[in-house]
Structure 1
Amino acid sequence: MKDNSQRPINSFYLQFILIIILGSAILFLRAVTVLPHLQSDSEQALRDAFSVTKANRELGKPYLVVGYPKSGTTSVYQFFQCSGLKTQHFCCCGDSSDHPPCEGSTMAVCILKNMANNRTMLEDCGDYDVYCQLDGERPVKAFQDTPRGFRGVLLEDGSLELHRTADKLDRTWLYRHFLPQHFHLQRLHEENPEATFILPLRDPEAWANSVFHWFEMRGRVVNEYIAFNHSIQRPGKQKAMEWLKRIYQEHTNYIREFVREHPSHVLVEFNIADPDAGKRLADAFHLDESCWGHHNKIGDRAKNISLKEILT
């Protein structure tokens, strides 16, 4: 006579396994629904990437664009400037230029100097309503006591990180892209606790391609990340695109999570490729959508800017 006592147990385990699989599938589908633009690199998935967090109250100033460069910051600048707000992009301190060469200082240099002198990051940098580009190239210079054959990249404490100019490999570390909206976001929050954060988004692959081909920005961004985390391995040209896509998505996640943890801020995020981007941005800030337009496409700007202007 056969022993059938194992059959109920097998049936129980089968049902248990099916429940686990079904539950996992539901959780996965929910994740895709909530964050579709993080689950796919396609522009179509980004098309609906728009939200205004806690927009049922007045938007606090200043307005800080916390997205990465080459994410439509020039279009955002043109939009707010056209709308009559005092707006900055790349240059600062009263300079009406929005791209290099600046008549005076860049916003990145102004912030770095303030940090070196224990001042608030945006102090005397123009007192703008809208800061569209906080980031920029770190200045490369030499002090009077800098050894011959060396130059240094400016750090937050005012010192220079020296590298030998005759050494081709060593001197590449002189070129770094200062990214305060990522590496100093906590301090920006502490000094501007009610600022409205603006996060313009684009397809990560399109962004990576733009950075990859915009002069030496790829190398400067890589160097900046490695400087803050020495465990990062230089990706190399073949893997650079995937690496850039990853850090872009990680920065997007970081900004969103930061606002969740710091509810004094309002986060306005939108996809610059969305045909309704202008309307959505205008609705969020109660402005005229006719001021929206795309600017600074690769090929147009690159024809008029020399490499020397970008790096100095």
Structure 2
Amino acid sequence: MGSTSLQGFFGCAGYSATHWMCRRDSIKVHCAQCILNSVKEGLPPLQKCGQWADVFAEINGPVEGRLYFPQVELLEEIVRAYPNATFFLTFRSVDRWYHSITNFWSGLGAKSKKRTLRDEMVAANITGGPRDFRDRDFKDFFCKHVRRVREIVSRSNLVEIDIEDPATGRLMADMFDIDEGCWGRANVNFDLHPEIDRGQSVNVPHLILGKDMIRGKNGTMRERTLPKY
């Protein structure tokens, strides 16, 4: 929910940003898999994911044929390992979120098989997650996850944004000193949102390599510092 827009925002500015896929030694691997592998070996969660990105916008992904959600299953481990990291909690109308996951391809298998994100979330058996396809179960999980994140992540490290608020681009620009023009819609399902001009949506690759300089507000530039793990 808004993860591609987050990745595109920071990637546009010049930061290294990844979504769904990670990279280690020039080999692409799903972030969910390398995070789980790291924790199983007693390592910090991102240790086997290459440790090259400034921003990990979406870390759930396939593990043994099912979606795995490190941001749920390993939330405490991630927060403990990276106490200085900034964590994002993205919001939108919970009704529109449920409608979206009910019609959005999960990323697993062929699109023709119509396995939606809702289908895969039930199959994933997420801790505290929905056990059937009723919308109330998903909405309950949505709210429980928000409360849990707020309990575990320090308020000084947590950024909450409404991806449907037209002011979000300006707020993000002010907060991170990044050109407001970098904020935009990405990964739009035009079948669900025919009202959105296709020219207003951008396609964002899974991996965006950082630049030497960061594109700040009002055209200012500053040197990019390497990520610290």
Q: Give the secondary structure class of the aligned counterpart of 1:119.
A: coil
Query: Which of 111, 117, 122 does residue 222 from structure 1 map onto?
Result: 122
Larger radius of gyration: 1
Query: Which of 123, 131, 151 does residue 234 from structure 1 map onto?
Result: 131
CA contact (8 A) 2:37 2:48 kept: no
Give the 5 Å matches for 1:152-171.
none
Q: CA deviation at 1:114?
A: 1.5
Q: CA deviation at 1:220?
A: 2.1
Query: Which of 67, 71, 77 does residue 181 from structure 1 map onto?
Result: 71
Question: Which residue of structure 2 aligns with residue 309 of structure 1?
Answer: none
Q: Quick one: distance in 1 between partners of 2:83 and 2:11?
A: 24
- Give the % identical residues: 32
Q: Does 1:77 align with 2:1?
A: no
Structure 2 residue identity aligned to 1:206 = R
Question: Which residue of structure 2 aligns with residue 135 of structure 1?
Answer: 60
Q: Please list every run of 5 or more consecutive structure 2 residues that lacks an aligned counterpart in the other structure.
A: 106-114, 192-229
Q: CA deviation at 1:299?
A: 4.0
Q: Give the secondary structure class of the aligned counterpart of 1:278.
A: helix
Q: Quick one: distance in 2 between partners of 1:105 and 1:133?
A: 13
Q: Quick one: distance in 2 between partners of 1:234 and 1:107?
A: 25
Q: CA deviation at 1:116?
A: 2.6
CA contact (8 A) 1:81 1:87 kept: yes
Q: Give the secondary structure class of the aligned counterpart of 2:37.
A: helix
Q: Give the secondary structure class of the aligned counterpart of 2:158.
A: strand
Q: CA deviation at 1:189?
A: 1.2
Q: Does 1:190 align with 2:80?
A: yes
Q: CA deviation at 1:94?
A: 5.9
Question: Which residue of structure 1 aligns with residue 21 of structure 2?
Answer: 91
After superposition, what is the alpha-carbon deviation per residue over 1:168-209, rounded to whole angstroms, capped at 9, x for unaligned? xxxxxxx3x211112211100111111111112111111111
Structure 1 residue identity aligned to 2:122 = V
Q: CA deviation at 1:115?
A: 2.2
User: Which protein has greater RCO, CA pairs closer than 8 Å, 6+ apart?
Assistant: 2
Q: Quick one: distance in 1 between partners of 2:2 and 2:130?
A: 29
Q: Does 1:210 align with 2:140?
A: no
Q: Give the secondary structure class of the aligned counterpart of 2:89.
A: strand
After superposition, what is the alpha-carbon deviation per residue over 1:253-301, rounded to whole angstroms, capped at 9, x for unaligned? 2112223xx46x511111000011111111111211110000111247x
CA contact (8 A) 1:204 1:249 kept: no
Q: Please list every run of 5 or more consecutive structure 1 residues that lacks an aligned counterpart in the other structure.
A: 1-70, 97-102, 141-174, 301-312
Distance 1:87 1:95, change over 3 A: farther
TM-score (norm 1): 0.53
Question: Which residue of structure 1 aligns with residue 166 of structure 2?
Answer: 275
